[in-house]
Amino acid sequence: MAVKQKNVVGPVATSPEVRLQIILRVLQDIQPQDSNKLTTIYAYIVTGLGTVAVPSNPTTYMKFIEDIKSIQEILLKANDNKNVIFVTLKALYDEISNPEKTPSPVMSIVLQLLNVEFLPAAVKFILNDGYPEQKLERALHTLCIWLTKWTWTDNLGPLVLTFMKGLEQEQFYDILVEVTLDTIEPLFKLIVLHDSRKCVFPVVYHMLTRMQRSPAAFHKVVPHIPNVVNILAKDETSKPYLLQLVTLFTVLMDHFSGFNELYEPIRQLLAPFRNTVAYQPLSCEGWSYNGPLRSPDDKVGLYNLGNTCYMNSVLQALYMTATFRNNVLSHQGGALPPLFSKLQVLFALLQHSNKMCLSPRDILTLLRPPGFVMGHQHDSSEFLGYLLDTLHEQEKNLSGSYEHYTCPLGQVSQSTDTEASLTVVQRSFGGKTMTVSHCGECGTKSEKEDNFRELQLSFPSNSDNQSVQDLLGYFLQSEKLCGDNQYRCDVCDRLTDGERITTVVAAPTHLILTLKHFRYDPASQTRTKLLQRVNLDSRICLEGRFFDLYAAVVHHGTSVDSGHYYTFAKDSAGWYKFNDSAVSKAAEQSLHSLKPPETPYVLFYVCEDVIEPENLPWDALSIPLQSAVTKDRADSERTSRVSVARDVSKSRKDDPPPPGCGGGGFNSTPGNMYVC
């Protein structure tokens, strides 16, 4: 053979078009009699194809597709060589499972070596070859991403579906859930394209039917349902797909009850098609997603239930406010209101659960601020204010009226009879401001006291690189009352020029500051984001007292109605990053290095004199909370035993035959998702 192996992949400077030509020539020159060289060459071909990017130039693209078709034809003729199939599949898997690489979807054309009927045996071989779960997840994720970008490999979709079923049979549910949540949205939108539909639809359908334990995947596609349904309805050839989706959506909306506001537009959209489908409830076993057991040093994450990062980020910040958390957990006065009770349970589980992640669905169901729609992104600051107000009012109504009291500025709260009459929200976050307005004509002044649980800090006009201390000073500086904002003087009995100044006369032990990055744009009638850099002070001074930063809710995006929220927070063990279900150790510098469109939004500071308490011990929890934790731990132990049994079973299996050699395969998959 004239072409050397190193030329298959080509030098780094070789263009994708030239590299593809080299691969094609190598395939054309292969002599099938030399089996050893054949397998080596095919392994190099896999790697080479992974470096070939899809060209964007229309002329180049047409030539590129011609070469792709030629390679596919050659591969189809070689699919009876079992050694070639084995080596090629292993090389492909090694590339797509490598977290350091992002191989091109062009690599998938080597799958033409595999007949569809051999896919189960091929997947089974991979699953039994001892690859770690991280690589299995990376491989499935890569294949799903390829599905969103590539339509020239007929059996790519069947491979993804078979791979998912294999992982399901081996109970790798965490992998399936994570990849589904990450890829379901772009895959679902491709159903409208005729060239993609055949491969993509079975994968999307399988993902949605198996994600029965959480509405997160379904809620990710809900905003796109009208467009998909309307497009499919216009094409007669799409009718079978449309009817399956109508049935599936109807089933899922009934399965995930409690989201009527979100589902009502979809129900109206599907109404004309209802008579053409036979409704039957879900019957198959859904994916469990309890995950592995956490170590004592880990923090517990919260599942995203469909654009609920605004809620998760706030809940984690409040949980990391130790005084507030312990006051919530230790409250045992009478029959607690529903929200207070559910927050107690969530805090108890975040502290004592053995799971890596929990569902905050009870909080989501009970707490809906006005204007908030299930499944849509919303403002974390608005949610925080509504949550604290609701908790405060519910506790007041439970125990009778509370006389408002805040700790005087400069004095640290102690356990006193007066403080015992405060709500848990007041004890941690309650403060008081005094606003004094002066008339410029007669010198009359008026005073007004206001209670607060957060301070909203605006940005000066045409300013950048402001520090939090600067913004706090801007909030407290005197304001000229003139023009359209004149002072109404009761003595002068008219509008006059004047001055107004606000001071904090009673500071809370825990100070919440919201940086008002969002402004209303009258032209677009939307709230736009100010993409200004903020110097995040670790320590600030308020009226002579120092406060230290311990948590920050971060917004990543350019609009309040989109983007993503997550939280940095610290305790005695250091800083953590809470990103929905993913919680990891973090460096404080990561928070201070944020650049727009990633911006700190809601900041939590604690007075330097406050000594945060240790975690509430188990025996200090109420009997109902202990029961909730015990039940949760029993559930996680059952899941752990199943996982161990799965690993032991896998370790006892004999090595399967290479792909394409028959034998093995998967057992029959679960039956139809519907029952009569």
**Token representation of residue 137:** 């997840």
CA nearest to 262, candidates 271, 253, 270: 253
Q: Which residue has the tokens 């809940």?
A: 315
Give the pLDDT confidence score for residue 285 in this predicted structure: 58
3-state DSSP assignment of residue 290:
coil
pLDDT digits (tens, 9 = 90+) for 212-268: 777 888 999 999 999 999 999 998 889 899 999 998 998 888 777 667 778 889 999
Residues 6+ apart with CB under 8 A from 496: 439, 440, 441, 442, 486, 487, 489
CA nearest to 339, candidates 285, 298, 394: 394
Torsion of CA 627, 631, 632, 638, to 10 degrees: 160
Give the pLDDT confidence score for residue 661 in this predicted structure: 31
3-state DSSP assignment of residue 376:
coil
Count Cα neighbours of 546 within 13 Å in the Cβ-side half-sphere: 6
Give the pLDDT confidence score for residue 651 in this predicted structure: 38
Is the N-terminal amide bond of 597 cis, ω within 30° of 0?
Answer: yes
Classify the C-alpha dihedral 346-578-174-179 as positive or negative.
positive
Give the pLDDT confidence score for residue 282 in this predicted structure: 61
Residue 670 CA to residue 537 CA, distance in Å, equals 56
Contact in structure between 303 and 327 (CB atoms under 8 Å): no
**Token representation of residue 661:** 């050699």
Give the pLDDT confidence score for residue 388 in this predicted structure: 96
User: Where does 507-588 show beta strands of DSSP type E?
Assistant: 510-515, 518-521, 526-529, 534-535, 539-542, 545-556, 564-571, 574-579, 582-586
**Token representation of residue 369:** 């601020």
- How many residues does the structure list for the chain? 676
- Walk along the chain (676 residues) in steps of 10 and give the mean pLDDT of each run: 39 56 68 61 72 72 73 66 70 83 78 75 78 85 89 84 89 87 93 90 93 84 94 90 91 76 88 72 59 72 85 97 95 79 95 89 88 82 95 81 38 45 91 85 81 92 82 86 76 78 92 86 71 90 94 86 87 91 86 88 96 89 91 72 43 34 29 29
The residues that bridge with 510 in the sheet, in sequence order, are: 606
